[in-house]
Chains A and B, each alone.
Chain A
Amino acid sequence: MEDPGIAERLVDSLVRPDGSPKKRPVHTIGIGATGSFLASHVARDYCISKHFQGTETPVTVRFSNGSGSAVQHDGWSDVRGMATRFHLDDGTATDLIAMTLPEFFTPTPETFLDFALAAKPAKFSRESPWRKILDMLKLTPPMRDPYPGETVRPDEGAMRFADRNGYAQLAVFQAAAIGAPASYDRASYHAVHTFVITAPDGTRRWVRFTWQPIAGVLDTNPNAPPEDVYLQDKLRERLALAPARFSLMMSIGEIGDAFDDPTRPWPPHRVRVMMGTLTLDTVVKDQEADCERLSFNPGLLTDGIEPSGDLVLRARKDVYEISSKRRGAVPCPFSRSQANDE
């Protein structure tokens, strides 16, 4: 990264007043599960990575609410996260970090710092009925009413930032209406960034990954009062009954696509390849030791998968590592070994 201090400043900027220094600054509330990933019969034709060769790969997954609040509000509209660690048979690992928002807010670490500062959760005033009427007459949606107990939120700051910076508009618009999933296993999760994969014949492809739930996508009713605590219980109930499964879909980019810009999703008409199926069957027993203290990292890659030129992807590697150190988590794999490093 060109600015060596920006990762530190990014972590600082993400800390919320209602967060906790002992937890992650974003995606603070989460739950871990384990299972396995089985590559499809075509995956090995596209990528030489070990987990795409057709044998079962054990995985650890952490689902999370995107907010950095240390208080659980499952039913609030929020981006959700799905961090997946593939435990490879040679003892190394590779991570795939995904979220329900299909794109990122900014194209560079510097602009993300600006965004994080502008959208830092702040106190806000409920929109008055008269202001709502004025909005309706302007054919613009009123700002969302606060949830019970909600005192700070990023919405107003994010909206002002998006009004000045067109690249943030799609993510802010979609995040504002993203809602809450009925269960963590009923949402699609997008890895957002572009990766470069290598095929057995040496062909390199620029690709993006998405997890799609085989049970289907299902949100809660946005007009019903939100429940604060249900997502972790739902996952426990779900896995006690039967495994939850996701398909790993890979879109192949084409010349002219935004390879290095995570604010621009690719159109849905790109060639898609079904790379494998994730099966989750067990909730992690000791959540604190075996999930919350784990340090996932989007830069933890393996042979056959490289980062693209996406500057945000490259910056996240340092940001995750700093965040991990600050909360005293299990040291990031980068700290132990550079074996998996790019």
Chain B
Amino acid sequence: MTNDGGWFDRFVDSLPERGWFKFLSTYVVVPYWVWRDPKPKLPGGPRASAQPSENVQRMMNLIMPLKDSSPIGRAKAALAIAQNVDEIFAGLDNVGTVHTARFLLLDDYICMISVYDGDFSNYIRDFIATIGSVFDEVVSLVEGGDDLIPTTHNVERFIDWVHAHDLFQAPDFPTDLFGLQDTASGRSPDSPPHELRSLPRELILQLNANPNISLGGGYRAYPGFSAAQVRGKFGVGW
């Protein structure tokens, strides 16, 4: 946009793109605000909702830090999945509520990305019941995972652990972040309302608490329908 506010105004407008100002922001300004207004880490996974279409095609973005992120450690993680493909696929068929699921090796993490129907805890319970042994192998490669083995004997703790490693899902509507932060801090949501211009700062501070997040609830090509409904419609159900 045209700026006719003079050279100093143009200079100020350019500050966010200048290296020294980025350095100042990253190492002084943001840490100051983190100290002054710390945000609790917001919980992962989809939020509770009464609406049917919010309870189908739900996302799980499970991000698990590898104990050994060297090429050898990563190869072990790849083998743990590759050697159990039959067990994973049969298990997912038996769970029956999963639209898609896949494992990724991403930087220092092994990730399980899936889309499922219904309650989160039940989904994890079903998973452990059907492919618990695979998860034992996976979590043995992950930081903090040893205490959960065997997962079939530590179901509730495993559910909490998965929840903690599932990505926070940013709200579909940006200003809803205020209410989520209020609730996490034990305050009444948006009462009183927040200063609207503080929203970018609230997002920056939240990204300090939750560095990895899912940006919104995602696109669905056939929204509102469960895996069972889709299978039933096409005559391939079980």
Docked pose: A138 CA to B205 CA in angstroms: 12
Please indicate the chain A residues that have their CB under 8 angstroms from the CB of B195 in the complex: 140, 163
* Option from A139, A166, A172, A268 in Cβ contact (under 8 Å) with B204: A139
Please indicate the chain B residues that have their CB under 8 angstroms from the CB of A129 in the complex: 5, 8-9, 11-12
In the complex, whether A203 has a CB less than 8 A from a CB of chain B is: no
The answer to whether A132 touches B3, judged by C-beta atoms less than 8 angstroms apart, is no
Please indicate the chain A residues that have their CB under 8 angstroms from the CB of B199 in the complex: 173
Write the nearest CB–CB distance from B186 to chain A, whole angstroms.
18
Write the nearest CB–CB distance from A41 to chain B, whole angstroms.
17
Residue-wise, chain A 218-241 has the 8 Å CB interface mask toward B (1 for contact) of 000011111000000000000000
Question: How many of A's residues come within 8 Å of B, CB to CB?
Answer: 44
In the complex, whether A117 has a CB less than 8 A from a CB of chain B is: no
Docked pose: A128 CA to B13 CA in angstroms: 11
Write the nearest CB–CB distance from A261 to chain B, whole angstroms.
13
* Option from B54, B173, B197 in Cβ contact (under 8 Å) with A141: B197
The answer to whether B175 touches A169, judged by C-beta atoms less than 8 angstroms apart, is yes
Docked pose: A268 CA to B1 CA in angstroms: 32
* Option from B15, B191, B223 in Cβ contact (under 8 Å) with A269: B223
Please indicate the chain B residues that have their CB under 8 angstroms from the CB of A170 in the complex: 173-176
Residue-wise, chain A 75-109 has the 8 Å CB interface mask toward B (1 for contact) of 00000000000000000000000000000000000
In the complex, whether A256 has a CB less than 8 A from a CB of chain B is: yes
Residue-wise, chain B 173-198 has the 8 Å CB interface mask toward A (1 for contact) of 11110100000000000110111111
Please indicate the chain A residues that have their CB under 8 angstroms from the CB of B178 in the complex: 166, 169
Please indicate the chain A residues that have their CB under 8 angstroms from the CB of B51 in the complex: 254-257, 267, 270
Docked pose: A139 CA to B16 CA in angstroms: 11
Closest to A148 in B: B2
The answer to whether B175 touches A173, judged by C-beta atoms less than 8 angstroms apart, is yes
Query: Given A255-B50, A257-B51, A269-B53: A165 and B193 within 8 A (CB)?
Result: yes
> How big is chain B's contact interface, by range?
35 or more
The answer to whether B193 touches A164, judged by C-beta atoms less than 8 angstroms apart, is yes
Please indicate the chain B residues that have their CB under 8 angstroms from the CB of A252 in the complex: 224
Please indicate the chain B residues that have their CB under 8 angstroms from the CB of A224 in the complex: 1
Write the nearest CB–CB distance from A111 to chain B, whole angstroms.
13
The answer to whether A163 touches B196, judged by C-beta atoms less than 8 angstroms apart, is yes
In the complex, whether A1 has a CB less than 8 A from a CB of chain B is: no
Please indicate the chain B residues that have their CB under 8 angstroms from the CB of A148 in the complex: 2, 4
In the complex, whether A43 has a CB less than 8 A from a CB of chain B is: no
The answer to whether B15 touches A133, judged by C-beta atoms less than 8 angstroms apart, is yes
Closest to A159 in B: B196
Docked pose: A270 CA to B51 CA in angstroms: 9
Write the nearest CB–CB distance from A122 to chain B, whole angstroms.
18
Residue-wise, chain B 153-187 has the 8 Å CB interface mask toward A (1 for contact) of 00000000000000000001111101000000000
Residue-wise, chain A 154-173 has the 8 Å CB interface mask toward B (1 for contact) of 00000100111110011011
In the complex, whether B81 has a CB less than 8 A from a CB of chain A is: no
Chain A CB count within 10 A is highest, among B21, B195, B204, for B195
In the complex, whether A272 has a CB less than 8 A from a CB of chain B is: yes
Apart from A133-B15, A139-B201, what 13 extra A-B contacts exist at CB < 8 Å?
A: A137-B29, A139-B29, A145-B3, A164-B193, A166-B178, A170-B176, A225-B1, A225-B2, A254-B53, A257-B51, A268-B223, A269-B57, A270-B223
Residues of A within 8 A of B (CB): 126, 128-129, 132-133, 135-141, 144-145, 147-148, 159, 162-166, 169-170, 172-174, 222-226, 252, 254-257, 265, 267-272
Which 6 pairs show the lowest CB-CB distances between chains A and B? Answer: A271-B224, A139-B201, A166-B193, A129-B12, A166-B190, A254-B51
Give me 20 A-to-B residue pairs in the complex whose CB atoms sit less than 8 angstroms apart, sorted by A's number.
A128-B9, A129-B5, A137-B29, A139-B200, A140-B197, A141-B197, A162-B193, A163-B194, A163-B196, A165-B193, A166-B191, A173-B196, A226-B2, A256-B50, A267-B217, A268-B217, A269-B224, A271-B53, A271-B223, A271-B225
